[in-house]
Homo-oligomer: A and B are copies of this chain.
Amino acid sequence: MAGKEDSDGNPRHGVPKGSRTSNQELLYDPSIPTSTHAEQARTIAEKMSTATLCTISERSSGVPYGSFVTYAIHNGSPVFLISKLAEHTKNLEANSKASLMISETGEGNPLALGRVTLLGRCEKVNGEDPAMRDAFLKRHPNASFYVDFDDFSFYKLAITEIRYIGGFGRMSWVDEPDWSTSEPDPLIEVAEGIIEHMNEDHEDAMIIICTEFSKAKDTVGATMTGIDRYGFEMSAMTGEGPRPIRVAFENEVTDSESARKEIVALVKVARKNS
């Protein structure tokens, strides 16, 4: 789906996370492939496992009530294992309108973190659904201690709307069909390791990539800040200070090994031309 626009008509590009709109010229081609907002939202939802469930308070009529929950994403929907004694469960039994606010965690300015709000109806799952149960217990092994307690049941949020905020000035409403058909990033589990490895051992390779594939020709240092199926992002140290750079892969990657191959291919081209 690279190159496609998302549901708000936002083209598939943007500035790397944490950077702010400024008067400085962008030092890379903003039209290179980037995850859509739907893909980024699904990636955040899949990566995290705790969030805030918002329900309508039954006790304090009409007040929106936030509670801390654990969840797992199963077939694109958040599922919960909650006790009928809990406030949020009583609230849902009276009114199933709900949303789940999932936020990334990390250092630095908290408003630069990605987050997504999933809105819809959250209802009790009737009957057995072994695949859903397994998905939840795989994500929350501790829940095996109470999964069979009488007062605990699975609930599922049927999503109708999605609000994605990627940080400063990067946000949109994502259509449900885009959410359903998008895949979370395949590098979720390995991205952190790749970034650490690149920053520890391959700064030289990133500097040469910046000078070859971006306008940051005077780059003297580079730190990888993100990687996804379509490419990766760096903070390049230039004469004007740190500047965000995004570089696209030639082919979409699916795992550590294919990401490694694509990075090596970029370095080869850069070395040849330098």
Interface set of A (CB-CB < 8 Å, partner B): 49-50, 52-57, 59-60, 62-68, 70, 87, 97-101, 103, 105, 109-111, 113, 115, 117, 119-120, 142, 160-161, 163, 165
Contact = CB atoms under 8 A, between A and B. Distances in A.
Nearest to A20: B145
Contacts of A99: 57, 63-66
Nearest to A57: B119
24 contacts: A52-B54, A53-B66, A54-B66, A55-B64, A56-B62, A57-B119, A60-B160, A63-B99, A63-B161, A64-B99, A65-B117, A65-B163, A66-B66, A66-B101, A66-B117, A67-B101, A67-B115, A67-B163, A68-B101, A68-B115, A68-B165, A70-B111, A87-B163, A109-B142
Question: How many identical chains are in the complex?
Answer: 2
Contact of A63 (B52, B68, B97, B113): B97
A110 B161 contact: no
Contacts of A110: 49-50, 68, 70
B60 A101 contact: no
A221 to B, nearest CB: 24
Given A65-B119, A100-B66, A101-B66, A60 B161 contact: yes
B60 A54 contact: no
Interface of A is mostly: strand
A245 B70 CA distance: 28
A116 to B, nearest CB: 10
A86 to B, nearest CB: 9
Given A54-B66, A66-B99, A66-B101, 11 more contacts: A56-B62, A56-B64, A59-B161, A63-B97, A63-B98, A63-B119, A66-B66, A66-B100, A68-B103, A70-B110, A70-B111
Contact of A98 (B52, B59, B64, B109): B64
A85 to B, nearest CB: 10
Given A63-B99, A63-B119, A163-B87, A113 B68 contact: yes
Of A64, A105, A115, A119, the most chain B CB neighbours within 10 A belong to A64
Nearest to A103: B68
A101 B97 CA distance: 18
